[in-house]
A and B are shown apart, each in its own frame.
Chain A
Amino acid sequence: MKTGATLALDHGPCRAVGQNLGMDEAALIRAAQAGDQDAFERLVRDYDQSVLRLAMNLLRSPEDAHDVYQEAFLRVYRNLPSFRFDCNFNTWLYRIVTNLCLDHLRKRKVRKTESSVVETEEGSIDRMDSVPEQRASSDPQRALLSSELRTRIQQVLAGMTPRERLVFELRHFQGMRLRAIGETLGTTEEAAKNCLFRATQKMRSALGEFV
């Protein structure tokens, strides 16, 4: 788990990055709105790792994550002049990214079954290989358990609705507060809370024998 502290801050996932920017971020956005390309590039650099990690975690496909990254920042570029500071920049950006990811996930739900192997420019990649082999170390028994667990977790995640998956991802891996998640997804904190609860229950049922 990424955060466990009782913090009431209603921030987005990129705060750790954006925090150091402080007021500079507003100045950066204004400069980018005025057509300063360096400022836009700095904005991209401040957020793009988090965006890519989020897309990768949600979609489990380097190619899809790449597409979401491109489309998200192109949309930001096209729509930045109309950004009026009505919400945090990161909330706005994450709304774009999560909408794109939801579209991908919904399309995938329609396709139902899919292979874990995807074709990329560099050849075939098994998406399961993208999941890190944490804590397995050199103990074969632990490695086996870890691998089985990972497979089971992948299955649970795939069985969640796109919205549950998104809320779980944003809360568990990105460390976003439920209120910010609600804002990003255009819903209430309560609805985000319910999604998280359902997602956790699904995890609990599927992994009950391991805990």
Chain B
Amino acid sequence: MNCETARQQIVLLIYGELSFEEEEILESHLDACVECNQERARLEKLSSFADLAESEVPAGLLARCRRDLTAALEQERRRPSLSSIFRGFWQKWFVNPPMWMRPAGALAMLAVGFFGARLLPDQSSALSQIGVSQGPPPTISKVRLVNPDNSGQVLVHYDEVRPRELRGNINDDRIRRLLLAAAADPADPGLRVDSIDILKSQTSDNEVRHALLNVLRADTNSGVRLKALDALRPYAKDPDTRKTLAQVLLSDDNPAVRTQAIDLLVQSKEPDVAGVLQQLLQNEENGYVRSRSQKALNDMKASVGTF
């Protein structure tokens, strides 16, 4: 390493932005070069001087900001949003229209139904777009409106849910899309686990990997997160995976997830893992996770504390 490179790296050394290896090489140079070592001392002093420039938040400013924000948010909430304007319009003209409009509305709906049925093919493309087979008849999920008229007829608006089936290979894009949707279904952790288990063989696909990283980061169920961790095992060296693992290691509330995250991070054999583990040790309360972390640091021949 020459002095010019060393001087550029001293700034990064002071801010702890060098990797373990880079730091070692620079330290060797600094040990041997008096001038560069003096430069380091100067920059360290400079850095401490810069602390003098830190502003203090004036007393009362935070309270004033909070007070004003509360008022601004209140105003924001009172302001009618586009959706509420649309809802009002819908309520006024479609849900509870004026009496004089009702016969015209009924006639218009009949016309739309009549012509719509003739325009659509026998099997609606909206329902068959993913090529599913015919299943059992639909069930009514919600009745939205009942509207009697003077002739004794009743107009009923309702939603229907039609169960469908699709059988196909995991490489089939339609199957994969359905599995990705199931892996994010908030209602059923079991379904999420099963879907991730199948998607495990598809982690070479960026979309699948991205979805698994999202599950690992944000799923509320630790069992599902563990499943996602397991599926990501072959990609422990992938930068996005490592980044998420570091986040999970420092923020997940489940010790088993943290332990697994340590195993995967260590598997990547990247130098920055030591820093994450040292960071973890500063706050980790779980004895087992601590000991795994310490063991991993020992195996890497890294110090347990930060430096």
Contact = CB atoms under 8 A, between A and B. Distances in A.
A125 B50 CA distance: 23
Query: Which interface class (under 10, 10 to 19, 20 to 34, 35 or more) fits B?
Result: 35 or more
A153 B50 contact: yes
A132 B72 contact: no
A27 B219 CA distance: 9
Interface string A2-24: 01111111110001001101111
Interface string A112-136: 0000000001100100001110110
A95 interface: no
Nearest to A1: B47
B17 interface: yes
B73 A200 contact: no
Nearest to B77: A37
Interface residues of A, number: 70
Contact of A131 (B47, B52, B273): B52
Given A26-B218, A132-B56, A197-B8, A6 B251 contact: no
B68 A70 contact: yes
Interface string B18-52: 11100100000000000000000011011111111
Contacts of B250: 9, 11, 15, 19
* Majority DSSP secondary structure for residues of B touching A: helix
Contacts of A122: 60
A193 B17 contact: yes
User: Most chain-B CB neighbours within 10 Å: which of A1, A15, A23, A66?
Assistant: A23
B272 A8 contact: yes
Given A60-B55, A153-B53, A27 B68 contact: no
A23 B107 CA distance: 54
Interface stretch (B125-133, B169-177, B276-284): B276-284
* Majority DSSP secondary structure for residues of A touching B: helix
Interface in B235-273: 243, 246-247, 250-253, 271-273
A85 to B, nearest CB: 5
A48 interface: yes
B65 A177 contact: no
Interface of B: 8, 11-12, 14-20, 23, 42-43, 45-58, 60-62, 64-66, 68-69, 72-73, 76, 214, 217-218, 220, 243, 246-247, 250-253, 271-276, 278-279, 283, 306-307
13 contacts: A4-B16, A5-B279, A6-B16, A8-B272, A69-B69, A73-B69, A74-B72, A131-B56, A132-B54, A154-B53, A178-B15, A197-B8, A200-B43
